Amino acid sequence: MLLLAACAPKAPHLASGEVPTSGVPLTPQHTLSPGDQFEIRFPFAPELNDRVTVGEDGTVSPKLVGSVIVGGLTVPEATARLKPLYAKRFKDAELSLTVRYFAPEVFWVEGEVTHPGIIRSTLPLTLERAIVQAGGAKAGAKTSDILVIRRDETGAVRAYRASLGAQPGVAPADVDPILSSFDLVYVPQTVIGSINEFLAIYAKNLPFTAGIQTVPPPPATRTTLPPQQLPH
C-alpha cells in the first residue's frame, strides 16, 4: 500500500484507532499535544526516570533514545511506541507514562469553512464541533464527503471519509467521531472523486512535509473503510 509519509517531523504526527462504520478511527482519550508534559518511569531502573515535553512538531527527546514522534498518540500508544526503543538500550525496559500537564489539543480545519486554519481546544473535539469552531461550513460545501487526514505512529498519512448529519443504519457516534490531536479536517466544495488524486495534489498544502513511502496495509480489523492508497 502506498501512503503519504512524513519526510521531516515539522508538524503533526497523527494517530489512529478503531475504525467505526464511517471509517474514521475513534479516539475517545486525550491525544498528546504540543506542550503536554509527561513522566517516563522505570520501576526496575529509577535512575533513568525522565520528564519530557511534547514539542510543536509532536516530538519528545527522552534520555537514551533521542527524538521520538508521539504527538497525536494516546498515552497507551505512546507507551507502546517508546518501549521497543528503550528495549534496544537495556533489559527490563518496563516503563509507564504519566501525564503531568495537559495542553490544548491541536487541529486543522481547511477547505470550505468560514475560518480555515488551526484550532486549539482544551477538550477533545468531534468532527462537527471542530467545523463549528472554524466558523461552520460555507454554503454549498460538500459536507457529505469530508476527509479526516492523520499521520499514524509509523509516519504514514492516512485519509478517511466522513460526513456530517445522520446516516441510515449508522450510530451517531460513528457519524460524528472524536478527533485526534493533529488531525486535519478538509471540507470540500465538490465531491472528491478520487482521494488518491486529491491527496497527490493537496500534499503541498499539508501542514507538514510529506512524501510517498511504501508501508504495510492496516490491520484486518480496519476493513470497514481502509485508508486510501496513493500511486507513485
CATH (domain of 209): 3.10.560.10
Closest CA to 189 of 178, 202, 200: 202
Please report the DSSP string for 38-58 in residue order. EEEE-TT-GGG-EEEE--TTS
**Within this chain, do residues 111 and 88 fall inside the same structural domain, yes or no?**
no
Work out the average pLDDT over 189-196: 82
Portion of the chain with pLDDT greater than 70, in percent: 70
Work out the average pLDDT over 65-88: 90
- Residue 194 belongs to some domain of the structure: yes
Question: If pLDDT is split at 50, 70 and 90, which confidence band does 162 have?
Answer: confident
**Within this chain, do residues 172 and 193 fall inside the same structural domain, yes or no?**
yes
Closest CA to 102 of 176, 29, 25, 13: 29
Q: Name the one residue in this structure whose C-alpha cell is 484550532.
A: 119
pLDDT on residue 167: 60
CATH of the domain at 93: 3.30.1950.10
- Residue 46 belongs to some domain of the structure: yes
- Residue 19 belongs to some domain of the structure: yes
**Within this chain, do residues 11 and 45 fall inside the same structural domain, yes or no?**
no
**For residue 180, what are the domain limits?**
2-29+104-216
- Residue 75 belongs to some domain of the structure: yes
Number of domains in the chain: 2
